[in-house]
Amino acid sequence: MRLADLGERSGVPLATVKYYLREGLLPPGRRINATQAEYDESHLRRLRLVRAMIQVGRIPVATVREVLAHVDDDSLGRTVRLGAALWALPYPAGEAPGTPPDAEDPSRAAALVLVDALLERLGWSIARELGDLSPAHRALVATLATLHRLGYPLDADDLLPYARTMEQAAVHDLDRTDRLPTDRERAEYAVASAVLFEPVLLNLRRLAQAEESGRRHGL
């Protein structure tokens, strides 16, 4: 298809499509003459993914480029490719950017103990072994340390039911991912699912709170 068709089928304005091409977020089409190029389904899929990251995930262009570099790296094995792409995404930090991890900080120490106890009860041995090599682990510890510091401590019992639900969700996610035909498509899907589902989850939580409050105390 031509560039204009790509815009039309994706619902992305043509000027935006051209911007993504210039920024290298969308690979160039196959040249068919001096002024025109041909685009295919892989361009459409990539365009939707870029749009999702920027529009829904509010992810900076430089980060999108970094994530896609891992998605496109055919030299990586399946797990490393998928992991590298996910790890390049921004993490919900729960602390001021640039706060240095302070080993002496009692809130941080409490958070580390809590996360370790939680992972042990969950039987998440890989996450436990990876420890703070994993950005999700680091971000979780930082968030729980902040809550502790602010006087809102949580314990493993508070976290366990949420973690179990997220585990079930991850099984579904990986089932879908593994059905895709190529490692590139698998990595693309994993990124899309990480980014797109987060606002859904948070809005479901807010809606549940409103429902329960209304049940107890009326409208």
In whole angstroms, the minimum distance from the beta carbon of 31 to a copy of itself comes to: 26
Judged by CB under 8 A, the chain residues 85 through 124 that form the site for a copy of itself are 86, 91-96, 124
Tokens 């829904």 sit at which residue? 56
Residue given tokens 């039911």 in the structure block = 161
Per-residue mark of binding to a copy of itself, 178-217 (x: CB under 8 A): x-----------x-xxx-xxxxxxxxxxxxxxxxxxxxxx
**What is the rounded CA–CA span in Å between residue 103 and residue 109?**
7
Task: Report if residue 1 touches a copy of itself, rule: CB under 8 A.
Answer: no
Identify the residue among 72, 116, 173, 185 touching a copy of itself (CB under 8 A).
173
Cβ closest to a copy of itself, residue 31 vs residue 58: 58
| Count of residues engaged in binding a copy of itself, rule: CB under 8 A | 79
Q: Strand ranges (DSSP E) for the chain?
A: 30-31, 37-38
> Which C-beta is closer to a copy of itself: that of 31 or that of 176?
176
Q: Which is nearer to a copy of itself, 21 or 49 (CB)?
A: 49
Buried-exposed string 96-132: b where 16+ CB fall within 10 A, e elsewhere: eeeeeeeeeeebbebbbebbeebbeebeeeebeeeee
Report the distance separating Cα 44 and Cα 46, nearest Å.
5
Which of 15, 34, 103, 171 forms a contact with a copy of itself (CB under 8 A)? 171
